């Protein structure tokens, strides 16, 4: 897209094309690069002292201004990658109606349909699948049986399995209900490139729901990955319902990517605007915000994000809340 830097196009596109557009590349994707162990192996190196040799070159290649960050002696490349900004480097409005960006990155948006589905780069998505709820709960329920026979050990095991299945069904039903609340809403997509700041924050004061983890693959979140697979429904991700005091309920989904060994979310039940929510370890990553119909009005600067990715900084005002929850 037009906002993507030439450096990212040249460096990422070359190896991504080989992986996603050649037979041998797709073979290595399936057998190596999309596996959890590959990202974990990478994490071991990026957490080691040996990886410090990468820091200087990375700073030069991506033109990173270290004066913006807290002084530190980095023990590893990952230690550098999750470096913290100095206080005041990402100011934000205190106006309760201001909707601010939770992260640095490239912002795009898509509109959700009445059945909470959407398309990106020709790939079809559903909010239900994004949140880990599967289609066909009725079929799932038909496999749950309760016996009227005597209380044998087999019966007790069957009831335990039934109870577990019932709990899983209830969780999936809850996720489906959450997905339906976002019919005709928006999905705001923040794509974090490797050169972006990889800590993210809360957009307003409020309370947090349960944090859900969904295991998955590790596709690249670069445009070529999005063109070839439904990345956000296949990748490892975490999501949480955030009930903001002045915006209302928003669901935030953090999506891991190739070589992202960890998504680290802090434990918090209440929070203030600007508090840190978490961070991604090495690799490009994505945050998807699910916004309900009529919940916010995008600022004029970001109205074209439905057609292109627009650079955004953490704390920058991206819109205005449209009602008081």
pLDDT at position 78 is 92
Angle at 278 between CA 175 and CA 212, to 5 degrees: 20
Residue 89 lies in a domain: no
Longest CA–CA separation in the chain, Å: 73
C-alpha to C-alpha distance for 47 and 297, rounded to whole angstroms: 41
Indicate whether 149 and 288 sit together in one domain.
no
Indicate whether 165 and 256 sit together in one domain.
no
Reading the chain (325 residues) residue by residue, the pLDDT tens digits are 444 445 545 555 565 666 655 656 555 555 555 566 666 666 678 889 999 999 999 999 899 999 999 999 999 999 999 999 999 999 999 899 999 999 999 999 999 988 888 777 667 778 888 888 754 333 333 332 333 334 445 555 555 555 555 566 666 666 777 778 888 999 999 999 889 999 999 999 999 999 998 887 665 565 555 555 656 567 788 999 999 999 999 999 998 876 655 789 999 999 999 999 999 988 768 899 999 999 999 999 999 999 999 999 999 999 999 975 6
pLDDT at position 259 is 60
pLDDT at position 80 is 95
pLDDT at position 57 is 93
Give the number of C-alpha atoms closer than 13 A to the C-alpha of residue 311, restricted to the C-beta side.
Answer: 8
pLDDT at position 138 is 34
pLDDT at position 1 is 40
Residue 75 lies in a domain: yes
Residue 92 lies in a domain: no
Domain count, the chain: 3
pLDDT at position 249 is 94
Indicate whether 26 and 164 sit together in one domain.
no
SS3 per-residue string spanning the chain: CCCCCHHHHHHHHHHHHHHHHCHHHHHHHHHHHCCHHHHHHHHHHHCCHHHHHHHHHHHHHCCCCHHHECCCCCCCHHHHHCCCECCCCCCCCCCCCEEECCCCEEEEEEECCCCCEEEECCEEEEHHHHCCCCCCHHHHHHCCCCCCCCCCHHHHHHHHHHHHHHHHHHHHHHHHHHHHCCCCCEEEEEEECCCCCCEEECCCCEEEEEEEEECCECCCCCHHHHHHCCHHHHECEEEEEEEECCCEEEEEEEECCCCCCCEEECCCCEECCCCEEEEECCCCEEEEEEECCCCEEECHHHHHHHCCCEEECCCCEEEEECCCC
**Domain that residue 143 falls in:** 137-179
Indicate whether 121 and 253 sit together in one domain.
yes
Residue 93 lies in a domain: no
Indicate whether 172 and 190 sit together in one domain.
no
Q: What is the CA radius of gyration of the chain?
A: 21
Indicate whether 210 and 153 sit together in one domain.
no
pLDDT at position 313 is 97
pLDDT at position 174 is 66
Indicate whether 153 and 288 sit together in one domain.
no
* The last residue of a domain, from among 179, 203, 236: 179
> Active-site residues: which are they?
104, 285
Residue 12 lies in a domain: yes
């Amino acid at each position: 897209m037009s906002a993507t830097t030439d450096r990212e196009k040249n460096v990422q596109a070359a190896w991504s094309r080989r992986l996603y557009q050649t037979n041998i590349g797709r073979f290595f994707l399936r057998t190596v690069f999309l596996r959890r162990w590959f990202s974990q192996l990478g994490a071991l190196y990026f957490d080691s002292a040996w990886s410090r040799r990468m820091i200087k070159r990375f700073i030069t290649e991506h033109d990173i201004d270290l004066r913006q960050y807290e002084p530190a002696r980095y023990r590893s490349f990952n230690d550098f990658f999750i470096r913290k900004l100095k206080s005041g480097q990402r100011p934000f409005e205190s106006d309760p109606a201001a909707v601010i960006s939770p992260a640095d990155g490239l912002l795009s948006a898509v509109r959700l349909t009445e059945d909470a589905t959407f398309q990106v780069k020709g790939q079809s998505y559903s909010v239900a699948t994004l949140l880990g709820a599967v289609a066909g709960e009725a079929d799932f329920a038909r496999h749950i049986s309760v016996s009227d026979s005597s209380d044998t050990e087999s019966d007790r095991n069957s009831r335990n399995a039934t109870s577990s299945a019932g709990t899983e069904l209830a969780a999936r039903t809850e996720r489906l209900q959450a997905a339906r609340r976002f019919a005709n809403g928006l999905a705001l997509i923040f794509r974090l490139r490797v050169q972006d700041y990889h800590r993210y924050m809360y957009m307003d004061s409020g309370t947090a729901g349960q944090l859900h983890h969904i295991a998955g693959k590790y596709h690249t979140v670069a445009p070529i990955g999005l063109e070839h697979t439904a990345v956000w429904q296949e990748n490892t991700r975490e999501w949480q319902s955030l009930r903001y005091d002045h915006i209302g309920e928003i669901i935030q989904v953090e999506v891991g990517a190739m070589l992202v060994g960890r998504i680290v979310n802090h434990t918090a039940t209440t929070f203030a605007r600007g508090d840190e929510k978490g961070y991604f370890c090495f690799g490009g990553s994505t945050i998807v915000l699910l916004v309900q119909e009529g919940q916010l009005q995008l600022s004029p600067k970001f109205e074209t994000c439905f057609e292109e990715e627009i650079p955004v900084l953490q704390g920058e005002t991206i819109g205005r809340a449209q009602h008081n929850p």
